Amino acid sequence: MRTRSGTSPMRSFDPVVIGRRECGAWVAYYRHRWAQVLACAVGMVRAGFRMPWPRTLLGAFYVLRANQVWAPYPHNDPLRAQRLMCRFYELVARTHGAVYDPAEASRLELRWWRAHRERQRERPSDGDGQLVDALAALYGYVYGLPGESVRAAAQGRADAMRISDSWVAAGCDPASPRLAEQRAALVRGYASLLAAVHHPSAGGDGARS
Model pTM score: 0.92
**Please, what is the end-to-end C-alpha distance for the chain in angstroms?**
10
Domain residue ranges of the chain, discontinuous segments joined by +: 10-194
- Chain-wide mean pLDDT for the chain? 93
Question: Rounded mean pLDDT of 54-60?
Answer: 98
The confidence score (pLDDT) of residue 2 equals 53
DSSP three-state, residue 139: helix
Span 170-189, pLDDT tens digits? 999 999 999 999 999 999 99
The fraction of the chain above a pLDDT of 90, given in percent, is 87
* Cα gap 155→189, rounded to integer Å: 7
**At residue 18, does pLDDT exceed 60?**
yes
